[in-house]
Amino acid sequence: MTTAEMWQQVPLAPPDSIFKLTAAYKADTYPRKVNLGVGAYRDDDNKPWVLPVIKKATEILLNDPNLDHEYLPITGLPEFTSAAAKLILGSESASVQEGRAVSVQTISGTGANHLGALFLSKFYKWNGQPIIYLSNPTWANHHAIFKNVGITPVDYPYYDPKTIGLDFTGFLQSIRDAVPGSVFLLHACAHNPTGVDPTPEQWEEVATAFLEKGHYAFFDCAYQGFASGDLDRDASAVRYFEQRGVPLLVCQSFAKNAGLYGERVGALHVVGSNQEEANRVRSQLSVLQRSEISNPPSHGARLIALILNNPDLFEEWKRDIKTMAYRIIDMREKLRDILVNELKTPGNWDHITSQIGMFSFTGINPTQSQAMIEKAHIYLTANGRISMAGLNSKNLRYVADSLDKVVRGEL
């Protein structure tokens, strides 16, 4: 076999839908084009925003005479992982206080999901075939991550297109119907892609159902603080499950809430039942991490470690988070106001403000979404999801007018 023939059987994979959308936006020369597809924060001038606290922490690192570029430990920077665990689980949580929380630094939230999935694929006591229950819909990458380690994704009801809200009855019933010991992936806050979260009371019912069936909670938390502007509020579901004693792990990302998209800063936290179990889990996670990346990168982790462990920087970070979250909340309120009160757009648009986080499911269908792209040069995913971070004072009216027209069939 010649080199030319060797890879002839490799099929051409389709491009990633989000990155394809971004490429199309960049190639578009229309002056009023709008990108509502990408999941990254933009300021009111549609520019990436480097958080002031990140600039300050970077300056501190640059002026540290002891800074080097040596390898980190396999499981990551200890001052980062320990502080990250306290941030998501709570500094007073029993698992943290009793040393039962195993924390490993990962390649952002994607790496945390992968490492958690890989660990479960090798060591979880499956009741039948390895299956992970994923919300319908969920972040598209979840399916590939679990399939790649031999775990079959199965949808559970979550989003109700009729109400543009949560199908809580279907969600809860799927938990009760699943075989005991099933694994469910739960979005900790700011559900991606719908922006629809359970209420605190609904989370309580979900936790009770988990305990009754002995299920395992695989939490994915990509938006702590970014959703509501409050770090503690956005961690409340995870902390409640931990307090109730639901077996769980948490995937954590600092891409959104610290604006460190390209630094790939994340962590995986596995809660054990005791220290001895935690030590065994840690040992195996270390083995898995070593075979894949050897050691995680240091720069982003050092930035977050500085911020989380310095009271002044931590308070500044919380202010920066509020700046981002509140701008998005403001865009939600203004978009709904224009649609409802000015344009009298057909339909109910309360979901624009009841949903939370970076994304919103508008409720428009794939045909309407395609019309938005082709006719208005407003780029969004086919399912009608828009990134609220892409809205600003300069394009808000244009987007609202276009939404109104597409709903009326006039675009």
Of 256, 317, 349, 404, the active-site residue reads 256
Determine whether 139 is an active site residue: yes
Known catalytic residue at 349: no
Spell out the SS3 assignment of the chain.
Answer: CCHHHHCCCCCCCCCCHHHHHHHHHHHCCCCCCEECCCCCCCCCCCCCCCCHHHHHHHHHHHCCCCCCCCCCCCCCCHHHHHHHHHHHHCCCCHHHHCCCEEEEEEEHHHHHHHHHHHHHHHHCCCCCCCEEEEEECCCHHHHHHHHCCCCEEEEEECEECCCCEECHHHHHHHHHHCCCCCEEEEECCCCCCCCCCCCHHHHHHHHHHHHHHCCEEEEEECCCCCCCCCHHHHCHHHHHHHHHCCCEEEEEECHHHHCCHHHCEEEEEEECCCHHHHHHHHHHHHHHHHHHCCCCCCHHHHHHHHHHHCHHHHHHHHHHHHHHHHHHHHHHHHHHHHHHHHCCCCCCCCHHHHCCCCEEECCCCHHHHHHHHHHHCEECCCCCEEEHHHCCCCCHHHHHHHHHHHHHCCC
Angle (CA) 131 134 135, round 5°: 155
| Angle (CA) 167 232 319, round 5° | 115
Burial of 403 (0-12, 13-18, 19+ CB in 10 A): buried
Which candidate in 167, 197, 220, 234 is catalytic? Answer: 220
Q: Which of 139, 203, 317, 349 is catalytic?
A: 139
Establish whether 220 is a catalytic residue: yes
By annotation, the residues acting in catalysis are: 139, 220, 256
